[in-house]
Amino acid sequence: MKKTLWILVCDSAQGRLFEARGDNRPWELLQVLVHSESRSKADELVGDRMGTRSSQGPSVHHNALAPSSSPKEVEKEHFGHTLATMLDQALRSQKFDGLVLVSGPQFLGLLKGELGVELRKHLIASLDKDLTHMAASELEERLGDLVRAPVDERDDTKPATKHAH
């Protein structure tokens, strides 16, 4: 039985979700995901200048209303949570058998932190590189060893680097 692998190549504002099967077919682009708020300027994300009002008179204390995270960080976390939720729902619907995550180190860490227990069990590999700029064919070539299903019979000299799940 050939495995269905999903490959998510993303950064904090965009992603592409591919499906790979172990039969040498080209990857299928399943979805393009965009979260433009992660790229917005902080002042565009906050409608009122929250945390800038001072209490009456001079004070050395910080305003309690000031957010602890920047609006951009909140949006990145929101996108990570949205991606993890989408993947979790797809796993529960048995749409894939294994998952590969490719993202820059900071967002990859955030995304992995959002994965539930079952998703982590299906995480075959991850790569901490931002490859969102690459064309699909380049991604397939670059990540071929990472996503190769055990039953795949491609003739490459490098062994696949996978984790048992």
CA angle 100, 70, 38 (to 5 degrees): 45
Give the residue from 100, 111, 104 showing the smallest Cα distance to 161: 100
The confidence band for 165, taking pLDDT boundaries of 50, 70 and 90, is very low
pLDDT in tens, 141-159: 999 888 774 433 333 333 3
Whether 98 and 124 have beta carbons less than 8 Å apart is answered as yes
Helix ranges (DSSP H) in the chain: 42-45, 71-92, 105-114, 117-122, 136-147
Domain 4-42+69-147: give its CATH architecture: 2-Layer Sandwich (3.30)
pTM: 0.72
